[in-house]
Structure 1
Amino acid sequence: MNNNVYIMSLEGTEIYEHQYRNDDNYSIKQKYIGMIPYSLELRKLREVGLKVVESKKYDKLMTRDLINVKFDWKVKKGEKVIEGLREKIEKQELKEEYKEKLLEFIKTINSEIEDERWNGISSKKLREKLYTEGFKLDFGNGKKIEYVVYKRTGAKSRTGQVLFIRKQLKNKMIKWSRLGMNLGNRNDIDYPSLLAYESLVSSSIEDIIKINPDNILIVDDVKSNFKIDANVVKTNEQGILKSFRNKEYIMENDLYDGEGLLDSSYFKSIGKTDKGMMLLRQHMFKSCVFNTNIQQFLKDHANKKGIDFNTYKVKNMFGEEMYAKDIHMIITPNSLKALKFSFIKGSRPKMWNHWKKKVKEDDSIFGICKFDKQSKRGKDQEGNILNQTSYQMLNSMPISYNDMKKLSQLEVNYIEKLKNDDSTYIEFLKDNDNEVNSNMMFVDIYNRNNNIVNTKVFKNKRKKDIHNYISHCKRGKIRLVGDYCTIVGNPVSFLYHSIGVDDSKYKLKENEVYTTLHPFGLEYVAFRNPHTSPSNVLVVKNKNNDFISKYFNLSENIICVNAIDFPLQRILSGSDYDSDTLILLSDSILLKNAKKCFGKYRVCVNEVDTDSRQYIVDPINMAKIDNILSESQRNIGTVVNIGQFYMSTYWDLINNHTIGDKLNRLLEGIDITTILSEIAIDSAKRMYEVDVDKQIRELKKSDLIEKLKPIFFKSVSENNKNKNKYKKKSKSKGTKKNEDKYGIYNCPVDYLNTILDDIDMAQSRETIKMEKMLNSHSNINIKARQRDKILSYVEEMGNGIRSAIENIIDEDERYEEIDNVKKEYIDKINKFKIKEETMSDIVFRVFTNKKKYRIGFKDKTELLNTFYKLDKEMFLNIFKSNKKKELEIIRENVETVDKDILVS
């Protein structure tokens, strides 16, 4: 059992209907598919009285004291509810008793239709109602719990989802979250930022570490200002975003934004000497700290200057002195969000000391959210680490069809092996095994009897897995040599800045980087997400640096970069250093294409005005902010894909040798989508004076793009309604006859889709029946009623799994619900004392397609996997083993070996 606590995740409409349309039809379905991860927040919740129960059935800790609430649906008015109920009665085969119940419910609604509770409510208005009024849930037996709005979760903070908490717990937790400050009903607080910063303690943590705040040196942030030829995006008089060229734009880079340095002794103290960074959380604190020999550096500097290290003192940003021997961590104000509210305490030094006091009250514990990690996407034949690109990365460069063939060759070869080489597919199953799928079940059967690969159920799974993998690659996800690296900005300058010294001798310059992921002295290609345009393509030179290797203990998955007099942060779409990562790829074809972009396209900068509105710290204003946030998040995918539509059209025109103003106008549209996507992503903590929906409409109605889209949109679009609306490149273009034909744009990702579609089909092989794989069994010990009941459970389980897949949008919650359904039915089946003969008989009857026991292939897989989970050894024993012959061959070979060798 893990340390996470599972909670109900409900739609606001479910809660409204339960409370205001109180009827048996609206009882709360207690599905614990939301989660409060192990975090500083959860530790405090349990301390103040969170009621947690242990579920043996699901092997989980669960609580009713917190509920995750989503606002994806509106409340239907009474007439619509009646309409839906009538459709249900007409279209589905329902038991007479249930049908009568629904008809009675329709009568009830008709009799109350004038009551305001049967009016429809928009999701925005519903959010405001529940935030301001709270709600009560009836769990039966007269037990009602009253809930009030609490805060965003760490994981769902950008999605408009919110936590409600048992009323009795709220005040204690909000006081703790806000450092004991009473901020309610104030209008001088940056409320959007407060909502983001108070949720930092909610982030999932892997571990904890003690750092006395008295050992933290806080120093000023440092800016680098320089002139650059850039495209500035801002609104015109009509409120429409436009991109304007500014040849002397003053670029400002924040050199250490979100990063910190932590002495190497702390990494040793938790046994993480192989790690180069930790992402830390505390009250309104977020910093990515890098493994640094701080004490060694300070000692070396003192010796160099002839200073006694025991008396050597360093000043912090407030002019306060501390002994160098006491400095264990170095941060800047950007890591300490509490300083943004310093006026509450009267000054920044007072807030600094108040924050330290509050951290000490929590035993000086910091949560570690993550460490640097290597890719799990395999290695090439030379043993080089691999990671995958995205369609935005590939489509931002002028990659030709032939170059794309070379870039995708590894994936093409791999797909061909998945289709035809059994051992490759078996390794694929192992690599992609999880608690929900049936991968290891098939692997273990294969290890017992490899003829399983010729059965229909195995072939169907293999076909589906390969189809899904090809679809994955069609989204631009092809593997190349390289990996993601956490970015640390100007670490040499940061270390010297902490002691008030400027030493340029060891600094990185321009696009130089330092990383041990790839060899020094060569150039590489780098991308960061979000990535939207050619101006985001970065080419770097990897340079060895003796100072960094001496004082920083960095893994291969960390990269030191330079932002002094170099627009790195704008090239990387507004990157900072609070654990942002970039992918660093080593590929000559990619490098050739990247060089056609790097430095050739002007970076774009955001000069859209921020929202000047003031928000009172209260539930109604929290609802208004979260409604804006929710809308922004829904727009991110749309904005990114519009940008890729413009990008694809741009390359298509270039490859068709088009010249003229249209190309420049397309690039302007790409600039606008770049800034729009940043605004949408940033809205969790910052609001802007821009109507994103209006901008999207302007971009969509442009005469620059066609109505039909590039074919790769078929793979990346989340909207299945647009499935047949793809651009065609045929002589009969525009005719009705060819309206549903697919073609390609002359752009990189459409080339990739064509290449993947051209892969040969798998070699044909004979199909053997599953029943031929089974050992013969006696019918004496078979219990017919038990057999049939188990099959009914498997059918119900299959229905539950399909319902989760079809109805639960959130991927994490869908996974949890599928896991819950499987555990529930495995628990039910486990109550039977199943014998091997019964298990074998069930499998035999299902796979011989006896009419009474006919179920779909998905359910057949679930049946097998259920038995596998129940009793692995018994399950595998129902299959014949073909390993006997192999053992006999080995023995025959051994008999020919000299007996003296066998003895030795």
Structure 2
Amino acid sequence: MKIKNIEASTLFEYNHGLRDHYEYKDAMFTNSLFKDFITANGMKSWDGESTKDIICLEFNYGTRSYEEEIKHIQKIARKARIEFKVAKNSGSQLQLERQQNKKKKIAELYRFALKHKDDYDKKTKEEIRTLFYNDGVSVEYLTYKKKGEVKRREIIHYRMLYRSTGKAKKGSCMFIRDSLWKKAHDFLYMGIKLPKHNAKLVEISAYAPLISSAIVGRVKINPRNILILKDVDTICKTNIVSVETDERKQCRAVPYENYELKSTLFDGQALIDTSIFPNWGRGYVLLRQHFTKMAAFCADIQGFYRDYFGDQYESATVIDMFGNEHFVKDIQLITTDNACKWLKFQLSYDYWCQKVEENGCLFGVVKTAHQSKLGDV
């Protein structure tokens, strides 16, 4: 579904009357469990192809002060004068007309800057981000008649919703229409209320958007049929070279002998039973749900339990890390606590199960294995 990806600095200047348009490009609001939820809970779209209810903002630039704007105009004016002389000497009437038009445009920019001298507000991209995160931002949409006249103006106010781990690298962020914010926020955050002091802001900002990850499919798993076990750490002594920084912030390689190196064996891994593994999957599926991420490898869990328990299979049980008893015949997936990020926020097993059940027990499949470009190697 198409959404607008807007450069925040140009939107800031547009809203302050310093631009006649803001810069944007088309982006995609990808398929996800979050998209399923918000579509069913009020998000409007045009034939399922585009929506104004969600936008993406990028914070790549700051804004200039009045003095900086004048210097910028003077710089392009100097360059334009050189280009005008080149065009004049070339004898090309077309190039000369282009440079004359550019000269007029620069003059208009200069007059505009003088007229709006008091409207310029220098801000860094970080300051714009903070402003939009705290106060939200309004976006004006214009509809034009065939002759270019403005037919209709629509202003929508948006609030910051989340930064996905991928988008965070680029400093971009998803904003949503005011009226949808509470529903969307409560869904993403599972209703978690952060304390005023010592809140885990970094952690929740990273884990809440997991359910908004782009997916290629879905698989239904009863959360109460998931066996969650405590992960296993192993420690071995070995010789290592540690890269460290000294008091001058310089990197240096420091060798250590008999260093105790810890390794978590099943970090983020899971086994998924063949009975529910999607027939289009190849070997494993990368799963997402509320505060949950795991790489689930296809395995015959039930076949193993039948062989292991024999005649006791129908009544055999195992205990998970929370002390809950599970019939082995019901277990569809086995994973460890490291896949369950909700544990970092002191949520109970039953509460998480309830939230997954509210979502139809569907887990999003981010990806599966695919054939190598090199063929069978």
C-alpha separation between the residues in 2 aligned to 1:298 and 1:175? 39
User: How far 1:337 sits from its partner (Å)?
Assistant: 0.5
C-alpha separation between the residues in 2 aligned to 1:26 and 1:331? 54
* 1:73 aligned onto 2:73: no
Q: 1:30 to 1:227 in 2, by over 3 A?
A: closer
Contact 1:18 1:137 in 2 (8 A): no
Contact 1:215 1:327 in 2 (8 A): yes
C-alpha separation between the residues in 2 aligned to 1:235 and 1:334? 30
Equivalence for 1:271: 279
Contact 2:7 2:22 in 1 (8 A): no
Q: Give TM-score, length-normalised by structure 1.
A: 0.37
Give the letter for the 1:136 counterpart: S
Equivalence for 1:118: 120
Q: Indicate the structure with greater strand content.
A: 2
C-alpha separation between the residues in 2 aligned to 1:44 and 1:82? 48
C-alpha separation between the residues in 2 aligned to 1:331 and 1:83? 60
Q: What are the residue-to-residue correspondences of 1:655-734 with 2, within 5 Å?
A: none
Give CA deviations for 1:236-269 in whole Å, capped at 9, x if unaligned. 34454433211011010100000000100112xx
Contact 2:221 2:361 in 1 (8 A): yes
C-alpha separation between the residues in 2 aligned to 1:371 and 1:80? 51
C-alpha separation between the residues in 2 aligned to 1:254 and 1:368? 24
Equivalence for 1:537: none
Alignment partner of 2:199 out of 189, 199, 204: 189
C-alpha separation between the residues in 2 aligned to 1:242 and 1:95? 56
Give CA deviations for 1:504-523 in whole Å, capped at 9, x if unaligned. xxxxxxxxxxxxxxxxxxxx
Q: What are the residue-to-residue correspondences of 1:233-312 with 2, within 5 Å?
A: 233-267=243-277, 270-272=278-280, 275-303=282-310, 308-312=312-316
Equivalence for 1:145: 156
C-alpha separation between the residues in 2 aligned to 1:142 and 1:135? 16
SS in 2 for 1:252: strand
C-alpha separation between the residues in 1 aligned to 2:368 and 2:208? 22
Give the letter for the 2:36 counterpart: R
SS in 1 for 2:43: coil
Instruction: Select between 247-256 and 367-376 the one with higher mean Cα deviation.
Output: 367-376
* 1:39 aligned onto 2:32: yes
Give CA deviations for 1:490-531 in whole Å, capped at 9, x if unaligned. xxxxxxxxxxxxxxxxxxxxxxxxxxxxxxxxxxxxxxxxxx
SS in 2 for 1:128: helix
Give CA deviations for 1:830-884 in whole Å, capped at 9, x if unaligned. xxxxxxxxxxxxxxxxxxxxxxxxxxxxxxxxxxxxxxxxxxxxxxxxxxxxxxx
C-alpha separation between the residues in 2 aligned to 1:366 and 1:121? 42
Equivalence for 2:21: 27
Alignment partner of 1:164 out of 171, 175, 180: 175
Contact 1:76 1:120 in 2 (8 A): yes
SS in 2 for 1:74: coil
Contact 1:233 1:243 in 2 (8 A): yes
Q: 1:29 to 1:239 in 2, by over 3 A?
A: closer
Give the letter for the 1:282 counterpart: Q
SS in 2 for 1:52: coil
Give the letter for the 1:52 counterpart: S
C-alpha separation between the residues in 1 aligned to 2:308 and 2:232? 21
* 1:375 aligned onto 2:377: no
Give CA deviations for 1:780-820 in whole Å, capped at 9, x if unaligned. xxxxxxxxxxxxxxxxxxxxxxxxxxxxxxxxxxxxxxxxx
Equivalence for 1:50: 43
User: How far 1:181 sits from its partner (Å)?
Assistant: 1.8
Q: 1:37 to 1:110 in 2, by over 3 A?
A: same
Equivalence for 1:178: 189
Give CA deviations for 1:257-289 in whole Å, capped at 9, x if unaligned. 00000100112xx323x6210100001100110
Equivalence for 1:221: 231
User: How far 1:210 sits from its partner (Å)?
Assistant: 0.7
Give the letter for the 1:78 counterpart: Y
Which structure has more relative contact order (CA 8 Å, sep 6+)? It is: 2
Q: 1:35 to 1:364 in 2, by over 3 A?
A: same
Q: What are the residue-to-residue correspondences of 1:294-333 with 2, within 5 Å?
A: 294-303=301-310, 308-333=312-337
Alignment partner of 2:7 out of 11, 27, 34: 11
SS in 1 for 2:52: strand
Give CA deviations for 1:359-412 in whole Å, capped at 9, x if unaligned. 0001101001111111124x5xxxxx3xxxxxxxxxxxxxxxxxxxxxxxxxxx
Equivalence for 2:90: none
Contact 1:73 1:123 in 2 (8 A): yes
Q: 1:237 to 1:79 in 2, by over 3 A?
A: closer
C-alpha separation between the residues in 1 aligned to 2:30 and 2:290? 17
Which residues of structure 1 form unaligned runs of 5+?
55-59, 346-350, 380-384, 386-481, 483-904
Give the letter for the 1:62 counterpart: S
Select the structure of larger CA radius of gyration: 1
C-alpha separation between the residues in 2 aligned to 1:101 and 1:173? 45
Contact 1:154 1:203 in 2 (8 A): no
Q: Indicate the structure with greater helix content.
A: 1
Give CA deviations for 1:699-756 in whole Å, capped at 9, x if unaligned. xxxxxxxxxxxxxxxxxxxxxxxxxxxxxxxxxxxxxxxxxxxxxxxxxxxxxxxxxx
Contact 1:153 1:162 in 2 (8 A): yes
Alignment partner of 1:337 out of 341, 349, 360: 341
Contact 1:223 1:255 in 2 (8 A): yes
C-alpha separation between the residues in 2 aligned to 1:64 and 1:153? 19
C-alpha separation between the residues in 2 aligned to 1:103 and 1:364? 62
SS in 2 for 1:143: strand
Give the letter for the 2:59 counterpart: F
C-alpha separation between the residues in 1 aligned to 2:71 and 2:279? 62
Q: What are the residue-to-residue correspondences of 1:793-808 with 2, within 5 Å?
A: none
Q: 1:339 to 1:13 in 2, by over 3 A?
A: same
Alignment partner of 1:135 out of 134, 137, 141: 137
SS in 2 for 1:61: coil
Which residues of structure 2 form unaligned runs of 5+?
85-96, 143-151
Give CA deviations for 1:656-676 in whole Å, capped at 9, x if unaligned. xxxxxxxxxxxxxxxxxxxxx
Q: Give aligned pairs, total.
A: 352
Contact 1:235 1:242 in 2 (8 A): yes
User: How far 1:300 sits from its partner (Å)?
Assistant: 0.5
C-alpha separation between the residues in 1 aligned to 2:21 and 2:126? 23
Q: Let me know the Cα RMSD of the aligned residues.
A: 2.3
C-alpha separation between the residues in 2 aligned to 1:210 and 1:276? 17
C-alpha separation between the residues in 2 aligned to 1:107 and 1:135? 28
User: How far 1:156 sits from its partner (Å)?
Assistant: 1.9
Give CA deviations for 1:759-780 in whole Å, capped at 9, x if unaligned. xxxxxxxxxxxxxxxxxxxxxx
SS in 2 for 1:142: strand
Give the letter for the 1:124 counterpart: E
Identity %: 28
Give CA deviations for 1:78-133 in whole Å, capped at 9, x if unaligned. 233344445266558559788656534422322443x2x42432222222222222
C-alpha separation between the residues in 2 aligned to 1:318 and 1:231? 39
Equivalence for 1:418: none
Alignment partner of 1:364 out of 355, 361, 364: 361
C-alpha separation between the residues in 1 aligned to 2:364 and 2:336? 18
SS in 1 for 2:50: strand
Equivalence for 2:350: 353
